[in-house]
Amino acid sequence: MKIPILYRYITKEYLKIFFLCLMAIIAIYIIVDFFDRADKLLKPNVSGITIFKYYLLKMPIIVSQTLPVIVLLSTVITLGIMSKNNEILAMKATGISIIKILIPIYLLAFFISITSLFANENIVPFCFKKMEYLWVVDIKHDKRGTFFKNNRIWYKSGRTLNNIQVYYPERKTIQGIIIYKLGDDFYLKERIEADKGIWNGKRWKFFSVNLWKFGKKGVTFFEHKKWAFLPFSITPKVLNRVKERTEEMSFSCLKRYIKKIKREGYDPTPYLVDLHAKIAFPFVSLIVVLIAIPFGINIKKAGGIALALAGSLLLSGAFWLFFSIFISLGHTGLIPPIIAAWGANIIFGIIGVVISYKTRQ
């Protein structure tokens, strides 16, 4: 059997399984998500076209989030079927090494990673913004005019206008807070500034607070406090909804945002973690291939495809746990951003290389 023909055969078999897994995962995700959101989606004022548009926009996001699982399943099933049919044994008998058999799968995984990287930069952020707008305005019918953003968070409540420079969800901390209170004739009545606010579970505690009161002739009162509880009704739950999430930003957009908050003197650490993760995450597909290969090739020893899938999913679950822990540690500043984003990839990449090497033997 010539190697190029072999590569074409393995590629064809892999892609067949890959697209079947892709369609199955998307279908399962949409069904589960639909029933989870049924109370909002099945309201009389939400049309079928709106629901269709919502899930059409969500599809690239679903694929982006579940791609490593799809690659894992495709690898185990493809190699498992070939192993069960003794095709791998026949290839080895003709002198073809395991490494050569696996080259098409490695190349496909690399191509998938690069494609994912491109999609996450150009397609996913666009779809995410459109999907969120559709969900908030056309499905939930929230009053979007209350919230507006320009690389900062603004919140209008009655005659009070709140401005937040930076919000750190993991720390439940806000920085650069300005509160404007307007009088009956809409002139500026009060201006409050605070360097930082920390959520204590019930309300915000603000630090380095300056308060100005204004009359028609100018400033009538000024007070500085080391800390204070202010009438600030925005909860972390509301901020999570209003804040522009890093999923909505492309790599270049997030990079510009980091430069901006650095210039303004705020801590960019959580955003730096997410910036590095935008590169690290697409390459998870390569890591899961390394993890999946031994389970697929040794299908008989693993006790069948079902057990092989269970074993590989268990090991991948451990990877996701480590990945999440590293990201969380990075967001809180306990480890450098680059280690937070790439740490799990490196550890499990080494594990994958070792077990793949042992499989070759």
pLDDT tens per residue, range 78-120: 988 888 888 888 888 888 778 888 889 999 999 999 999 999 8
Highest mean pLDDT among 43-52, 137-146, 253-262: 43-52
Q: Which of 66, 44, 63 is nearest to 55 (CA)?
A: 63
In DSSP terms, which residues pair with 163 in a beta bridge? 154, 178
| Burial call 271-280: b when 16+ CB within 10 Å, e when fewer | bbbbbbbbbb
Q: Identify the pLDDT of residue 359.
A: 66
Neighbours of 20 (CB within 10 A): 14
Look up the pTM and report it.
0.76
Residue 241 has pLDDT above 60, yes or no: yes
**Distance between CA atoms of 329 and 327, rounded to whole angstroms?**
5
Structure tokens at 118: 């491109």
Please tell me the chain's helix, strand, coil percentages from 3-state DSSP, rounded to the nearest 5: 65, 15, 20
Average pLDDT, rounded, for the chain:
84
Among left, alpha and beta (phi > 0; psi -120 to 50; other), residue 304 is left
Reported as a pLDDT band with limits 50, 70 and 90, residue 148 is: very low
Reported as a pLDDT band with limits 50, 70 and 90, residue 145 is: very low
Contact 280, 253 (CB under 8 A): no
Segment 171-186 shows an average pLDDT of 84
**Distance between CA atoms of 112 and 75, rounded to whole angstroms?**
13
